[in-house]
Amino acid sequence: MTPRDEHSRADSATVAPPQCPAHAYGEGGVARLYGPAAEADPMGLYEQLRDRHGAVAPVLLHGDLPAWLILGYRENLDVTRTPSRFSRDSRNWRDMREGKLTPDHPLAPISTWQPICAFADGQVHERWRGAINDAMGRFDRRGVRRHITRFANQLVDRFCTTGKADLVHEFAEHLPMLVLTQLLGMPEEYGPQLVKAARDMIKGTETAVASNAYVQETLRKLVVRKHADPGPDFTSWLLEHPAKLSDEEVQQHLRLVLIAAFETTANLIANTVRMVLSDPRCRANLAGGHMTLPDAVEQVLWDEPPFTTILGRWATQDTELAGQKIKAGDALVLGLAAANVDTAIRPDPTAPVHGNRSHLAFSGGAHECPGQDIGRAIADTGIDALLNRLPDIRLAVAESELNWVSSLMSRHLVALPVQFTPQQPQPQPPEESGLPVPSAADASEQDSPEPQTSTADRSAGIPAPPKSSRSRTSVWKSLTGWFRRR
């Protein structure tokens, strides 16, 4: 039975106002993944669906389009690792072929097929993904971290004299976009408007289509500019790659990187800072040197992944998954947050998972996020700079007063108000001109990539190698001073 079948077997439900609990379900009692009821407590909804249906549950997307939500850890891995059964090509979606996903549909910007690796499998995916990987591999990792630190300090300088700040709107949302505009070779002034458009687009709001159009036009102009004036940046490297991507292909991949990296990293920064400031056990472990800041970031990736779900697999054939009959053309939603707390692989969700990168926060399989280490670097380097600058930073409200807003794919803090002793702005070093391309001679001198556990090791829960002693010492010093002042 498909979610469509469950939807159609019951009589039409009485229309209820959006605030009413009855609005959480469509015909046949199929849960909606959109609307106020679903967005109020997505994790609670996932657990209700797990109790009712098991590892795979029928759900409804915007407009009551039927889909399957994958709640189990192993089932998510199965879907991400078998493109022959579950494709990333949205043209397989039955509802799209039948014209039910109109151009103005809230999900159109994130599900309409585009010439990018995220919507391809096989050789086409390898060509596009290879260009992305090669371009990202050219970044000087120490150069990237210098830019992160510089931008973090610039943001802190804007509010450090006041003794208070909202770290969502004044720090977490701006740092990733400042870094990304630098990496992509864009003027920094593009950042503020792109922050608004990027976040709006993935919410699936009524203005998502207009926000997508703004992002597309901004990136189209960037591609034209880089043809005339290339530099040591991601856009230029894609344009000159041997895979010979078209301008349209480059533009769409820039959009993919910009949107995915911004939302995930902004959420990761906010959630990690919140945990550091509100969790006594985390503070004690950091201050005592039992946990590094990268460990704290990884814990958040387990407990509060930046993307709670991802709409992005479509069945290529009739098949079965966790006892559910999946039909060709059905849509599947990866339940990343739900999978990370699946008791089959994590019996005690309160137990620390230091050093273990087998979570699904960055998806899995061939489409696992290629920029995850840059996202981690933005988060831990930026937070390290923040804590060093403001050693007595603390929450300005009780943790219970913090609020979140949710959408289909993400859940993020509305605000993170903090207080601290006012500080003076730091003298800023001269502007750095772009990110140099490392030569073979100095490649051995660069910081090595952050260690990872491969997706092939996820089900075994193999932990990543320990982080460097340099990172541990830096964070220990800053957190020790901060912790003793509390």
pLDDT in tens, 329-346: 999 999 999 999 999 999
| pLDDT number for residue 288 | 84
Q: 261 or 219: which carries more pLDDT confidence?
A: 219
Residue with tokens 């985390």: 282
| pLDDT number for residue 428 | 61
Query: Which two tokens mark 109?
Result: 């910007």
Tens of pLDDT along 114-125? Answer: 899 999 999 999
To 5 degrees, how large is the angle CA 204–CA 71–CA 114?
40
Tens of pLDDT along 393-443? Answer: 999 999 999 999 988 888 889 999 999 999 999 886 655 434 433 333 333
| pLDDT number for residue 205 | 62
| pLDDT number for residue 401 | 96
| pLDDT number for residue 483 | 40
Classify burial at 126, counting beta carbons within 10 Å of its beta carbon; exposed 0-12, middle 13-18, buried 19 or more.
middle
Contact 462, 357 (CB under 8 A): no
Cα gap 191→194, rounded to integer Å: 5
| pLDDT number for residue 449 | 36
Q: For residue 33, is pLDDT > 80? A: yes
Tens of pLDDT along 51-69? Answer: 999 999 999 999 999 999 9
Residue 278 pLDDT grade (very low, low, confident, very high; cuts 50, 70, 90): very high
Average model confidence (pLDDT) for the chain?
84
| pLDDT number for residue 273 | 97
Question: How many beta carbons lie within 10 A of that of residue 268, not counting itself?
Answer: 27
Question: 442: which residues sit within 8 A by CB, 6+ positions away?
Answer: none
Query: Which two tokens mark 209?
Result: 């289509």
Residue 21 pLDDT grade (very low, low, confident, very high; cuts 50, 70, 90): low
Cα gap 384→473, rounded to integer Å: 11
Tens of pLDDT along 188-239? Answer: 777 777 777 877 776 656 677 888 888 899 999 999 999 999 999 999 999 9
| pLDDT number for residue 117 | 95
CA dihedral for 320, 97, 26, 311, sign (positive or negative): positive
Distances (CA, A) of 358 to 210, 286, 292, 409, 462: 37, 22, 18, 20, 7
Cα gap 181→258, rounded to integer Å: 8
Q: Three-class SS of residue 237?
A: helix
Tens of pLDDT along 374-386? Answer: 999 999 999 999 9
| DSSP bridge partners of 86 | 315
Q: Three-class SS of residue 452?
A: coil
Cα gap 297→4, rounded to integer Å: 39
Q: Report the phi/psi class of residue 34: left, alpha or beta, with left for phi > 0 and alpha for psi in -120 to 50.
A: beta
Closest C-alpha to 389, from 82, 45, 154: 154
Q: Three-class SS of residue 166?
A: strand
Residue with tokens 């995850």: 372
| Average pLDDT estimate for 163-171 | 97
Q: For residue 149, is pLDDT > 60? A: yes
| pLDDT number for residue 204 | 59
Q: Three-class SS of residue 109?
A: helix
Which amino acid does the sequence have at 259? I
Residue 290 pLDDT grade (very low, low, confident, very high; cuts 50, 70, 90): confident
Tens of pLDDT along 96-138? Answer: 999 999 988 989 988 999 899 999 999 999 999 999 999 999 9
Contact 3, 325 (CB under 8 A): no
Residue 300 pLDDT grade (very low, low, confident, very high; cuts 50, 70, 90): very high
Q: Three-class SS of residue 25?
A: strand
* Maximum pairwise Cα distance, the chain: 71
